[in-house]
Amino acid sequence: MAVDRSMAERGANGEFIALRDQAVRRGILAAGVVLTLTLLAASVCASTARHFWLGELAVHFRVQYAAMGMVGFILLLIVRAPAWALLALSVASWNAMVAAPTLVTRPVNLPRVSGQPAADEPVRLRISSVNVFYANGEHQRVSDFIRRERPDVVVLLEMNADWRTALAALDKDYPHRYQTTGVNGRGISLLSRLPMKDAKVLPIGVRAEPAIQATLNAGGRDVRLFAVHTTWPVAPASASRRNLQLVRLAEQARAVTLPLVVVGDMNISPFSPHFQQLLADGKLRSAAEGFGWQATWPTFLPLAGIQIDHTLVNSQVAVEHFNRGAPVGSDHLPILVDLVL
């Protein structure tokens, strides 16, 4: 009798384990399928980015789609669902191929920049852009970052009265300054160790934080600089305004005959067709190209990070290095770029 009871208990335990394993398998299968279908839908939506607002929002996360697609692929392999696993791998591969040019890191090989005589000594220029985030109270961290990295030129975004007061001590290091203030009381501050002339508003239609244009003298050479913070595309209307600002920015850039640097928070990632159109129409290239993935926002959700803070240059400027700075309490990371004229 005791033997029969023991066998029955073992049988019951085995049946329970089998049922549990089946439930786990079904749960993993369901998670993998849902993940794969969600990524597929997001990827298809992203392919409409040129024409639709939601597609343009979706296009910025190609890196995340590729990574999560591989997670789905592994889950579906574990539960032996080959058809679904193949679909997950296809979604991951699709996005990885789109993202690949932005992810690649290449050795720096500085060419002789267009228009520079071979005998001339190169002039190096370090520029930093910091979206301070107007509600960020950690003024000292921004000040410490600037003093530590010692850029020749600093572009500060979302500057309000408190921030302008808090960073006034930088005047000694940066005697040349131009500031704008928008309809919301915030604006852009351009600080420079280098002599500055012709500083004024850049007319690209930004009312919240008017853009700046200025000519800087670096080592006896003039360089044109645009400091910009385009509209946040949180809704279709604001996305349209930002896209129009990018069109106007390209027009302004194309008209510049000097070495040109465009820097700031453009609220768009390299994966957007509107960003690529800006590069093509403005005869510009991204300074981050060849330096790997440089996500700058949001610092509070790093796994969802995308690059929306940029430095763009024309053919008369070479890029020696591009990287992100240490956190300064903002929802953006600062960017630092070393250029050669």
pLDDT digits (tens, 9 = 90+) for 264-276: 999 999 999 999 9
Q: Nearest-CA neighbor of 291 among 152, 38, 102? A: 102
Predicted pLDDT at 112: 54
The string of pLDDT tens digits covering residues 15-35 is 656 556 688 889 999 999 999
Is residue 5's pLDDT more than 80?
no
Summarize pLDDT for 93-127 with one digit per residue, the tens. Answer: 999 999 998 888 876 655 555 555 555 688 999 99
Report helix, strand and coil shares of the chain as percent, to nearest 5: 45, 25, 35
- Residue 309 CA to residue 330 CA, distance in Å, equals 13
**What is the C-alpha to C-alpha distance for residues 318 and 244, in angstroms, rounded to an integer?**
28
Residues 132, 327: Cα–Cα separation, whole Å: 10
- Does 316 score more than 60 pLDDT? yes
> What's the average model confidence in pLDDT over 216-238?
96
**Chain position carrying tokens 């190609």:** 62
